[in-house]
Amino acid sequence: MGNVFGKLFTISTWGESHGPGIGVVIDGCPPRVPIDLDDIGRELARRRPGQSHITTQRKEADDVEILSGVGDGLSTGAPIALLVRNRDAHSSAYDHLKDLYRPSHADYTYEKKYGIRTVEGGGRSSARETIGRVAAAAIAKRILADACNLKIVAYVKRIHDIESNVDVEQVSLQDVESNIVRCPDPEAAKAMIARIESIRKAGDSVGGVVEMVARNMPVGLGSPVFDRLEADLAKAMLSLPATKGFEVGSGFGGTLMTGSQHNDPFYVKGGCVRTRSNRSGGVQGGISNGENLVLRVAFKPTATINKQQETVSTSGEAVTLRAKGRHDPCVLPRAVPMVEAMAGLVLVDHWLRQRAQCSSGDP
């Protein structure tokens, strides 16, 4: 399985949804980086289940333990191992699924590929695996903030057919965290919450779009051909559970423009080359140009729903299934910190790679 991500700043995640715990090993973190449990805890609290009535009601504190790589509050340069123990796993809720394939889940494909699958919570295919990514990214984001004041903010742009009306260039973390759906548009947020409540009562689910901006981007992250910055970001985002689409800058909307409409004109401001518009989304030729990085990620409706669905048993018998257990009627509110996390992991990795290439030591 592909459990390792990154080239210089690498993470290896481990653990299952209903196992003893979930964790991550971070290798390549520079020494003497401040490691704050509160920083990691805040990020995990934004991702954890049971945080509101519109998320899964599994109750997990997701308290993190540092097992190695940190001394006196600083990274030592050795691998950092982080652990979060599972406290509220209800494995018996999955007993009725032992011999069934859940529609649009990984059950069938995992079993055909590996000859075995974890029924309880989906094992490694569960979004609970992302604990390791979010915990590791708290450290990555600290490195980027200290190095170049780089800040990453994501938010829910759309749920089902309800879209927010905010300027991605101006949105703040405080705006995002002002409501349980993590949409900085108050009116859209109310409508989104009502839609999720309604869809949950109907036993169904909905998807949507998360938009993200990274500010104070250095110039030069990424490289042409296979390590293009947007290519690595696309892989990172599409590795998240339930993702089905990725775009950067103008994205698919850019296909409706002409070249003269789409190009970002250059000008000089304070001795620095800037662009008057940002339809490139901060990346040109696979390399960051110093403008804000803007991207969007599409998430499908949650596959586990409380409605009758057609499926088959492991023996090939046609059956109907009504799934039980606890699940998110919409993954978007908890996906926001996951998108930020994957962006942080990609950007810190490219920042370290660029620093290694620059003779001055500064990207």
CATH code of residue 243: 3.60.150.10
Residue 93 has pLDDT above 70, yes or no: no
In this structure, is residue 112 part of a structural domain? Answer: yes
pLDDT band at 126 (very low <50, low <70, confident <90, very high): confident
In this structure, is residue 230 part of a structural domain? Answer: yes
In this structure, is residue 27 part of a structural domain? Answer: yes
Q: What confidence tens digit (pLDDT) does each residue in 225-259 have?
A: 999 999 999 999 999 999 999 999 999 999 999 99
In this structure, is residue 363 part of a structural domain? Answer: no
Residue 363 has pLDDT above 80, yes or no: no
The pLDDT score that the predictor gives to residue 362 is: 52
In this structure, is residue 340 part of a structural domain? Answer: yes
Q: What is the DSSP string of 225-263?
A: GGG-HHHHHHHHHHTSTTEEEEEETTGGGGGGS-HHHH-
Structure tokens at 50: 């049971």
CA atoms within 13 A on the CB side of 8: 15
Structure tokens at 276: 């008057």
Work out how many domains the chain is built from and give that number: 1
How confident is the prediction for the chain on average, in pLDDT?
A: 92
Range of the domain at 264: 4-357
Residue 197's SS3 state is helix
The pLDDT score that the predictor gives to residue 283 is: 98
In this structure, is residue 37 part of a structural domain? Answer: yes
Instruction: Decide: pTM greater than 0.75.
Output: yes
The pLDDT score that the predictor gives to residue 361 is: 46
In this structure, is residue 362 part of a structural domain? Answer: no
In this structure, is residue 168 part of a structural domain? Answer: yes
